[in-house]
Amino acid sequence: MKITILDGYAENPGDLSWDWLKKYGEVQIFDRTPKELIAERCADSEILITNKTPLREELLKTLPKLRYIGLLSTGFNVVDWKYCKEKGIPVCNIPSYSTDAVAQLTFAHILEHTNAVAAHSASVHGGEWSSCKDFCYWVSPLTELSGKTLGIIGFGKIGKAVAGIALAFGMKVIASTNHPSPFEGVEFADKDELLARSDYVTLHCPLTDETEKMVNSDFLSKMKPSAILINTSRGQVIDEDALAQALKNGVIAGAGLDVLSEEPPKASNPLLSIPQCSITPHIAWAGYETRTRLMDICKSNVAAFFDGKPINCVY
């Protein structure tokens, strides 16, 4: 059996192992697969494993031996799963592996805006503390989280994990969701009320037709001028031109992003030149423990397929 990993580097840059796959067949592993090589590398494969390499219907039609597609992600929009459903090809994703890691990075971005650790460390290393007349100084305003209001849009597992951390900081928490369920300490409100009241707004919603470019100029105009926007969900949820203009014009005070609409971004992305917008390169999922958990679920998915009882199918 031929097994092909199309883009394994992000999941395993060398600190994990793919050896467990070898018991199932011949394994070929590619760190990355450019668009022009996808068809060639998929040819004759019975199992394909992909993270971000797209597998569209026109390609899938040329792969008569294909029996299984394994994703190295929770999202499955890179695969034409409807075609796979018609053909009886299981498409299995990795659910709920990064909840704590995403919640952690959400607060890393929030704390970057409240405490500016990187800016203060750079200042100290640059000699400013050594030459300071006082025992302390600060290079930007410092803010306590206790008593501030956090608005959470999307209240699934990650949203709930973020709420728990916020409550531990002594924050007030408002959530907006289509499926509210009781959560001690959390108030539910519609989106407009949440935007008007929140000091920090964090996005934890899936990318759908409804949420694509949800964060537009109208959305941003409803936020406090002092508010900070955080996005660790999907880059396409934000209209990046609108956010750039809002930050330049003081409509909101800042943003913290782990995702952009195009990854890697073009150098012309308007957010890259805005200092009050902290950006990390889609790293919420990338901790060793998180990737190990992902790998373990991938192993379970493949084992279940070979046992004839696929799990975590996306359809």
Q: Give CA–CA dist 223/198, Å, rounded.
A: 7
The DSSP secondary-structure symbol of 183 reads: -
The DSSP secondary-structure symbol of 72 reads: S
Assess contact for 222 and 195: CB atoms under 8 A: yes
Give the start-end residues of each E strand in 117-248. 149-153, 172-176, 186-188, 200-203, 228-231
Q: Can 179 be counted among the known catalytic residues?
A: no
Q: Give CA–CA dist 29/3, Å, rounded.
A: 8
Assess contact for 258 and 287: CB atoms under 8 A: no
Q: Residue 223 contacts by C-beta under 8 Å, 6 or more apart in sequence?
A: 195, 196, 198, 201, 229, 251, 252
Q: Which of 26, 86, 144, 263 is catalytic?
A: 263
Q: Where are the alpha helices (DSSP H) in 201-239?
A: 217-221
Q: Which of 113, 282, 291, 293 is catalytic?
A: 282
CA atoms within 13 A on the CB side of 73: 17
Q: Can 86 be counted among the known catalytic residues?
A: no
Q: Can 125 be counted among the known catalytic residues?
A: no
Exposed/middle/buried for residue 51 (C-beta within 10 Å: 0-12, 13-18, 19+): buried
Q: Which of 109, 113, 204, 234 is catalytic?
A: 234
The DSSP secondary-structure symbol of 79 reads: B
Catalytic (active-site) positions:
234, 263, 282
